[in-house]
Amino acid sequence: MHGGSTHFPIALVITSMLFDMLGYVWPAQTRRREFHAVGFYLIVGAALTSFGAVLSGLVISKWVIVGTGLTAKHHLFAWPAFALMIALATWRLITRREASRRGFAIYLAAMVLTSVLIATAGYWGGEMLIGS
């Protein structure tokens, strides 16, 4: 179950970041709003689905929160990514369209960091399953 559910937050966070980046740089105002709307719903979806991924992961690891070896490497990236996803989705839910351009740039930087963290956690998770 973890192998399936974990793909939702990974895909949704990275896609949300890409849409919000497009919304940040796109010249036309209408299209910018549309891109940001997509980014908003995707990060909220990522935060919601991350609960399923985290709980199913804890069940298969027998509720070990760090562990050793590859499990530890996976967890050391997964936990910060989970916390950041919750924080970023909450920030978006509160600010909606009222964020300044500078504030949104900081949000995007945090989204890039979250995407890197979750992709790395996914890499180590894959190594645990199919690694040599």
Partner 1 sequence: MPFEIMAALVALLVSTAVLGATLGFAMLMHRYIAINEPPPVAATTLPAGALVGQGRHLYLMN
Q: What does the alpha-carbon distance between residue 36 and residue 98 come to, in Å, rounded to a whole number?
A: 12
Judged by beta carbon, residue 35 or residue 107, the one nearer partner 1 is: 107
The answer to whether 77 touches 117, Cβ cutoff 8 Å, is: yes
Distance CA 50, CA 38 (A): 18
- Candidate list 42, 44, 53, 88; residue touching partner 1; CB under 8 A: 88
Identify the CA nearest to 81 among candidates 56, 127, 52, 113: 113
Q: What is the nearest approach in angstroms of partner 1 to the Cβ of residue 38? A: 20
Q: How far is the CB of 32 from partner 1 (least distance, A)?
A: 18
Please say which residue, 103 or 131, places its beta carbon nearer to partner 1.
103
Comparison of 83 and 112: residue with beta carbon closer to partner 1: 83
Q: Tokens 């909220």 appear where? A: 44
Can residue 95 be called a binding residue for partner 1 (CB under 8 A)?
Answer: yes
CA–CA dist 10, 100 (Å, integer): 27
Please, which residue, 26 or 79, has the CB nearer to partner 1?
Answer: 79
Residues 37-56 that bind partner 1 (CB under 8 A): 54
Contacts with partner 1, residue ranges (CB under 8 A) = 54, 58, 62-65, 79, 82-84, 86-88, 90-91, 94-95, 98-100, 103
